[in-house]
Amino acid sequence: MEERILLVGGKSREHIRKGLEEAGYRVIYLHNAQEAAENVEDLEFDLLLLDADLPPLEANRLLNGMDEENKRIPVMMITDSEAVDKVVECFDRGAHDVVMAEVPAQVLHARIKNLLLIFRGTLQLNSRIKVADLVIDRGARKVRRGDGHIGLTTKEFDLLWYLALHVNQACSRQRILKHVWRHEYIADTNVVDVYIRHLRLKVDHGHKYKLIRTIRGVGYLLQEPPADASDSTT
């Protein structure tokens, strides 16, 4: 699969974009962090290459937006400064690696490749989510609740996985459509409601505690049971 890099930096980083594209990466190149932050939930990328010399408030808004969207994506910061304090600051802000702007292209590409490999391995290790007695194994694409296995269609599984990634967080229908169906939907469709009904029949039917909840006027969430859930009948 062609790996996608979100490069956020000024026009002085144009040579980096060209080098990455020549190396076979697909590059989304934005000149300011505010624009990236405003569109982060719609952007699909495998690594963020962020200019550390951009205004900190805008860059931090982008990083915070990635956290809110649960984007488990490596962050590499690039800077013109060789000062130790600047490098430490980058790591404090959330960078997983820091490189100097004048680093040779071969070294930059090798470090990007290494970071992508590290994160790919981490994601594989974390491809299993447990919510109460519900276990979702993304690698095997299997779901189990208690002692019973649950058969799901591809889209049912993708929807349940998305809700599990945002456990205890309300997810709007529009947001679910963007991330689960991506561009395969019509804006006014009720496809989310239909698939939620399917999931409830398969995941919650016959269980005392219902994990899939409706938040009126907002959307849906997968909710962990409270401490006294053994007494709950909802």
2-21 pLDDT tens trace = 688 999 988 888 889 999 99
Q: What is the pLDDT of residue 136?
A: 93
Q: Looking at the chain, list the stretches that DSSP marks H as alpha helix, in order from N- to C-terminal side.
A: 14-22, 33-38, 56-68, 84-93, 105-125, 154-165, 173-176, 191-199
Which candidate, 117, 110, 120, 90, places its Cα nearest to that of 20?
Answer: 110
What's the alpha-carbon Rg for the chain, to the nearest Å? 21
Which candidate, 173, 180, 163, places its Cα nearest to that of 221?
Answer: 163
53, β-bridge pairs: none
Which amino acid is present at 192?
V
How far is C-alpha 124 from the chain's CA centre? 14
Q: What is the pLDDT of residue 234?
A: 39
For the chain, what is the mean pLDDT? 85
Sign of the CA dihedral running 168, 221, 119, 27? negative
Q: What is the pLDDT of residue 150?
A: 95
Kindly report, residue by residue over 177-193, the tens digit of the pLDDT: 877 886 555 656 789 99
3 state DSSP class of 194: helix
How far is C-alpha 220 from the chain's CA centre? 18
Q: What is the pLDDT of residue 176?
A: 87
Does residue 231 have a pLDDT over 50?
no
Q: What is the pLDDT of residue 121?
A: 56
In the chain, pLDDT over 90 holds for what percent of residues?
41
Mean pLDDT lowest for which of 18-27, 69-78, 143-152, 195-204? 69-78
89-115 average pLDDT score: 89
Q: Is 126 left (phi over 0), alpha (psi -120 to 50) or beta?
A: alpha
Q: What is the pLDDT of residue 184?
A: 58
Q: What is the pLDDT of residue 12?
A: 81
120-145 average pLDDT score: 80
Q: Is residue 122 very low, low, confident or very high in pLDDT (cuts 50, 70, 90)?
A: low
Residue 138: CB atoms within 10 Å: 18
